[in-house]
């Protein structure tokens, strides 16, 4: 699946809506299977069936909790990385004071350009191709910043150059923070895990319909409640894992970068 197709499905929450419809369909399929089982003489849910249902729904609950927890942790990590990235840029901007006056203006101008690129990196609508282009441009600005700063340090007389060299450590930390933040967007749960969660929700709907079919009682309220809750939970997990696409976002963390830019 291409990045654009994936973004299309996630941004419009098509997958959770398909999940909801499919669960309702599975309830109906289960109902028909249960109705046929009753016609063949099964008029109640056996103890073995109850045990199997408890095991399946228990596994679904466990997997849902683990997936939700992991997605929330990744979301928190992405937010913390953005904040750290902004702090490192601010530190470099202040550390420029350690360099020669003749180099400070050029470096501050490049840092402003660097931060502008970073702020515009994930503008909506998200386009992976544009992000990679902006990352490449940012890398070029990073190289220019490093070249100017290192040249300034080398041409600074001893022992002042020992103090000026601290700016290079700050720039290195800034670059590492930017790379870590960029790589964090590719951290997602294994596709097999998400697929298995999707599969278990459908099995749960099938079992619910099967039990209703055996007992010849349609409880569409509980069926709808189950389907809606599972679909919403799945949508929240996806939004946490792709916070730049869905309803859940990182706007508050990104705002910290805008505040730093205004103070430059």
pLDDT along the chain (264 residues), means of 10: 51 80 92 85 72 89 93 93 93 90 91 92 78 89 93 84 86 93 86 90 92 82 90 89 82 88 88
The pLDDT assigned to 175 comes to: 93
Task: Say which residues have a Cβ less than 8 Å from residue 30's Cβ, sequence separation at least 6.
Answer: 205, 206, 207, 208, 209, 210, 211, 212, 213
Dist. CA 23–CA 13, nearest whole Å: 16
Contact 82, 256 (CB under 8 A): yes
Tell me the Cα Rg of the chain: 27
182-to-43, 81, 185, 233, 250 alpha-carbon distances in Å:
58, 9, 6, 26, 14
Q: Which two tokens stand for residue 18?
A: 């398909």
Which pLDDT score is estimated for 131? 84
State how far the Cα of 244 lies from the Cα of 105, in Å rounded to an integer.
34
How far is 241 from 73, CA to CA, in rounded Å?
A: 9
pLDDT number for residue 4 = 47
pLDDT at 213: 85
Which pLDDT does position 5 carry in this prediction?
47
**Any idea where the domains of the chain sit in the sequence?**
3-262
Given this model, what pLDDT does residue 253 score? 85
Residue 10: the pLDDT is 60
Enter the DSSP assignment of 157. P
Tell me the DSSP string of 107-143. Answer: HHHHHHHHHHHHHTTTPSSP-HHHHHHHHHHHHHHHH
pLDDT on residue 186: 83
Q: What is the pLDDT of residue 187?
A: 85
The pLDDT of residue 219: 81
């Amino acid at each position: 699946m291409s990045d654009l197709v994936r973004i299309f499905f996630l941004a419009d929450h098509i997958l959770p809506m398909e999940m909801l419809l499919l669960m309702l369909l599975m309830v109906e399929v289960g109902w028909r299977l249960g109705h046929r089982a009753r016609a063949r003489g099964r008029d109640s849910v056996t103890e073995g069936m109850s045990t199997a249902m408890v095991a399946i729904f228990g596994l679904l609950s466990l997997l849902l909790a683990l997936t939700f927890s992991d997605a929330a942790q990744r979301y928190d990590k992405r937010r913390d990385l953005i904040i750290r990235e902004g702090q490192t840029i601010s530190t470099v901007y202040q550390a420029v004071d350690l360099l020669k006056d003749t180099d400070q203006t050029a470096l501050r101008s490049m840092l402003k350009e660097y931060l502008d690129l970073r702020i515009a990196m994930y503008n909506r609508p998200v386009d992976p191709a544009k992000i990679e282009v902006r990352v490449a441009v940012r890398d070029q600005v990073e190289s220019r910043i490093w070249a100017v700063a290192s040249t300034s340090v080398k041409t600074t007389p001893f022992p002042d150059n020992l103090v000026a060299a601290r700016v290079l450590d700050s720039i290195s930390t800034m670059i590492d923070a930017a790379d870590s933040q960029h790589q964090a967007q590719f951290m997602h749960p294994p596709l097999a895990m998400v697929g298995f969660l999707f599969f278990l929700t459908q099995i749960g709907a099938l079992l619910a319909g099967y039990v209703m079919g055996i007992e010849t009682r349609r409880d569409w309220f509980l069926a709808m409640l189950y389907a809606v809750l599972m679909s919403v939970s799945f949508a929240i997990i996806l939004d946490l894992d792709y916070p730049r696409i869905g309803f859940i976002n990182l706007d508050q963390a990104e705002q910290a970068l805008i505040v730093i830019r205004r103070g430059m």
